[in-house]
Structure 1
Amino acid sequence: MGRRPQPEIKKRLLDACTDYALEHGLPDRLEPLASAAGTSTRMLIYHFGTRDVLLRAVLEHARQRQLITFGDLLRVRPDQPYTATLANAWRFITGPEGQPYLGMFGQWRESAAQQLLPDFRRMATTNWLGPLEKGLSSIDRPELATLVLAVIRGLLMDLDATADSTRTDRAFSGFLSTLDQQIVPNR
């Protein structure tokens, strides 16, 4: 008779594999994940079934972490204008704390991992519309969520392609200034 599943071990392995993938990217082989988790590839397969199931779980877990972290950054804060919240979120997302997520999910189009989560690109867009609409509702402009998201995504692609953070930071700041100017008449 085989062992019973041990969810606490599986969770620990998933956390360690996700940490590795966020720092180094999704590996082609299981050995780096096993090493990072302090186990063997055989044990990873035992707990997850197949390589693809493990990689899918790692991607989903990293995405869940990103949604929680970035979602919190986008929530309304009563003590600050929402454009200041967006500015702080931009600094975090493009800074050292956000880089692992941008690195993992930013290269999605060129990645073989796209087959693991084929609907990811759509979800990666639509997941952010709700938090942005809610935040922009605080300034009576929820209809701008798609525009704000498009600007953020476009500037993130620009930053990824050029590594020119000064220029993209300045562009986002300019966008927020324009947004502030549009909001004043509606207050």
Structure 2
Amino acid sequence: MNAKNSRDGLLTEAIDYYADHGVRDTSLRTLAAAIGTSQRMLHYHFGDRGDLLAAVITEVVAREIAALEAMSAEERDPFDALGRHWARVRATARKFGPLYFELSTHAMYGAPYAVRLPEVLVTRYAAVFAQTYATVTDAEHSSRLARLTLGVGRGLLFDVLLDDDLDAADAAVAEFTAMVRHRIAHRRDHGT
């Protein structure tokens, strides 16, 4: 089997296709033709369409989590790591943002394949943010900040996809970061 028809090769091709065209009601046959493989190969590696979509979003999120973990390990200041992560999200917003939100709506509507997506899209991501914040605050506070950061970041990403105002989103990220830094410093200085 050549690399293009390997599971990883097909998954990368599927991610790129869906990122460029959206998921919509694309059948496995249509996807296979578009990425230069057969429907049989997609079935062999992924099962049905839902299983492929679950693999797509799991892989996209896994790549983002790995990047955030690497940034957190490289930076002494967690806010520098989070700033680098925002820059990465910002740079890929147009390509992966619509795919992310489209598949998220499948989870919201209870698509059978999407039953694990909340764990992938919320729990895993929040855990990495919490780990990053844990270097500067206690576990309970870092957990709350993780959910807040996740919500703010996704809201800003959603807005950017609608209005394309990257400058406004960057300014909001800077303001949010300043507020969180201030809150952490206040807690540390006053024991609250």
**How would you bin the TM-score normalised by the shorter chain?**
0.7 to 0.9
Other structure's SS at 1:92 match:
helix
What is the alpha-carbon distance in structure 1 between the residues aligned to residue 146 and residue 46 of structure 2?
38
C-alpha displacement of 1:43: 3.3
Give the TM-score normalised by structure 1.
Answer: 0.75
Amino acid at match of 1:105: Y
Residues 29 and 38 in structure 2, CA contact (< 8 A), matched pair in contact too: yes
Equivalent positions of 1:118-133 (< 5 A) are: 118-121=115-118, 123-133=120-130
What is the alpha-carbon distance in structure 1 between the residues aligned to residue 70 and residue 93 of structure 2?
13
Other structure's SS at 1:94 match:
helix
Corresponding residue for residue 105 of structure 1? 100
Equivalent positions of 1:62-77 (< 5 A) are: 62-73=60-71, 75-77=72-74
Cα RMSD (Å)? 3.0
Q: 1:76 to 1:99 in 2, by over 3 A?
A: farther
Corresponding residue for residue 3 of structure 1? none
Amino acid at match of 2:55: A
Q: More displaced, 166-175 or 50-59?
A: 50-59
C-alpha displacement of 1:39: 1.7
Equivalent positions of 1:1-187 (< 5 A) are: 9-26=6-23, 28-73=26-71, 75-79=72-76, 81-95=77-91, 97-111=92-106, 115=111, 116-121=113-118, 123-142=120-139, 143=141, 144-185=145-186, 186=188
Q: Which runs of 5+ in 1 are unaligned?
A: 1-7
Give the TM-score normalised by structure 2.
Answer: 0.74
C-alpha displacement of 1:122: 5.1
What is the alpha-carbon distance in structure 2 between the residues aligned to residue 133 and residue 51 of structure 1?
33
Residues 114 and 120 in structure 1, CA contact (< 8 A), matched pair in contact too: no
Residues 69 and 128 in structure 2, CA contact (< 8 A), matched pair in contact too: yes
Give 1 or 2: higher helix fraction: 2
What is the alpha-carbon distance in structure 2 between the residues aligned to residue 156 and residue 129 of structure 1?
16
Q: Percent identity?
A: 25
What is the alpha-carbon distance in structure 1 between the residues aligned to residue 94 and residue 138 of structure 2?
29
